[in-house]
């Protein structure tokens, strides 16, 4: 959600306050910690190595990377303790000393300053947009689509949820970028289960890649004017929705993917065992199948129903999350990803093995 806390007005002459205590100075470097703007000289406390490297690249081109390495290697011949910062400082000093109307003139740049330190450097063509402004535009774009955005405590930015299908939450994630230019604005497709699918790798279920569905992560780059932001975000969201629509079609297909009683019970037993779920909730799911239907979608719906409404769960201790119920909801989500029930059932039976034969017996499979 960008920088939190009270807004702090910048004291830098010629500065433009963007977000929190971040400001931008447009001008030229007069020393390692001094920037000259059209309004005057601005003394600062320091300049980070990353900013120094960017400054050298923007002034002298990408060939400077090799020069930095060569300079550092030469320094270490006489001083093994020399560090990259020493090479950067030497080359910046040489570059500043060489500036003159007859030989070389310094390029005017944007200096992104935070806490009195130059954190990043960008060209004057690089439009710096505060994260808060990006999210405001995103909210406007999504409102026009009838899509609400919400906060997810585990993700920076905002998430738009298109819907939930038996334990899989589908939508997209908007990251507003980093004012320090280190992370771009991006829009990603988003599919979430309550619990990680890793315990089901034995059944070939761990991600959506095997269906040819690659997560869409589209960066919104090279925005020159603020008026470009809204249509670019709209385009990126449209692209992320395409992936989600493909996944929704896959889920729709599960409604006609039939599974016989024995296969369904074997798969549910193995998936539940993988998450440490006891047999009583599994029996509830098996019983619920008669109402939901013998398809992989029906298995998902039955698992999801028991996760929410089942009666055989142990009471969750106060202050703790109902992990078993969340795991059962994830079992339901995994059922939606089964494309070949007989093959998955064979893998499930093999994984259960002889030591868990009692599980199958109690479900009437042995």
Q: Has residue 260 got a pLDDT over 60?
A: yes
Average pLDDT over residues 21-49: 87
Percent of the chain with pLDDT over 90: 13
Per residue in 320-329, pLDDT (tens digit) is: 445 677 778 7
Question: What value does the mean pLDDT take over residues 315-339?
Answer: 70
Q: What is the pLDDT of residue 29?
A: 92
pLDDT at 222 over 70: no
Angle between helices 64-78 and 49-60 (to 10 degrees): 130
Confidence of residue 91 (pLDDT cuts 50, 70, 90): very high
pLDDT at 43 over 50: yes
pLDDT at residue 2, rounded to an integer? 26
Supply angle C-alpha 299, 301, 303, rounded to 5. Answer: 70
pLDDT above 60 (res 97): yes
Look at the pTM and tell me if it is higher than 0.85: no
The Cα–Cα gap between 112 and 134 comes to 18
Contact 247/191 with Cβ under 8 angstroms?
Answer: yes
In the predicted model, what is the mean pLDDT of residues 82-109?
A: 83
What is the rounded CA–CA span in Å between residue 148 and residue 132? 17
Per-residue confidence (pLDDT) for residue 179, from 0 to 100: 58
**What does the domain layout of the chain look like in residue ranges?**
15-122, 131-245, 256-362
Write out pLDDT tens, residues 266-282. 888 888 888 788 788 88
Among candidate residues 30, 32, 52, the one with its CA nearest the CA of residue 108: 30
Tokens coding 102: 């007859």
Given this model, what pLDDT does residue 198 score? 53
The pLDDT value given to residue 154: 60
């Amino acid at each position: 959600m960008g920088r939190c806390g009270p807004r702090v007005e910048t004291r830098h002459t010629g500065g433009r306050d963007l977000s929190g205590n971040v400001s931008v100075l447009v001008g030229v470097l007069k020393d390692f910690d001094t920037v000259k703007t059209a309004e005057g000289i601005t003394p600062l406390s320091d300049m980070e190595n990353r900013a120094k490297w960017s400054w050298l690249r923007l002034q002298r081109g990408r060939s400077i990377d090799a020069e930095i390495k060569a300079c550092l290697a030469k320094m270490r011949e006489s001083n093994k303790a020399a560090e990259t910062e020493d090479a950067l400082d030497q080359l910046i000093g040489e570059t500043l000393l060489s500036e003159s109307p007859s030989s070389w003139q310094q390029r005017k740049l944007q200096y992104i300053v935070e806490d009195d330190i130059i954190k990043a450097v960008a060209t004057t063509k690089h439009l710096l947009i505060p994260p808060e402004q990006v999210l405001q535009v995103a909210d406007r774009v999504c409102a026009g689509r009838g899509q609400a955005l919400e906060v997810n405590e585990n993700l920076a930015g905002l998430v738009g949820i298109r819907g939930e299908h038996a334990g899989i939450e589908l939508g997209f994630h908007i990251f507003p970028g980093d004012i320090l230019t280190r992370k771009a604005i991006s829009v990603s497709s988003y599919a979430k289960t309550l619990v990680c699918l890793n315990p089901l790798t034995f059944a070939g279920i761990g991600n959506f890649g095997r269906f040819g569905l690659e997560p869409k992560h589209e960066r919104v780059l090279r925005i020159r004017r603020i008026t470009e932001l809204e249509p670019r975000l709209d385009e990126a969201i449209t692209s992320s929705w395409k992936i989600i629509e493909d996944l929704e079609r896959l889920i729709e297909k599960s409604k006609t993917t039939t599974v016989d009683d024995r296969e369904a019970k074997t798969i549910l037993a193995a998936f539940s065992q993988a998450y440490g779920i006891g047999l009583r909730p599994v029996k509830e799911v098996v019983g619920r199948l008669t109402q939901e239907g013998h398809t992989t979608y029906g298995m998902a719906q039955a698992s999801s129903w028991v996760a929410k409404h089942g009666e055989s769960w142990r009471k969750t201790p106060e202050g703790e999350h109902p992990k078993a119920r969340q795991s059962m909801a994830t079992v339901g989500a995994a059922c939606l990803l089964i494309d070949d029930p007989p093959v998955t059932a064979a893998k499930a039976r093999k994984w259960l093995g002889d030591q868990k034969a009692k599980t199958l017996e109690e479900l009437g499979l042995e």
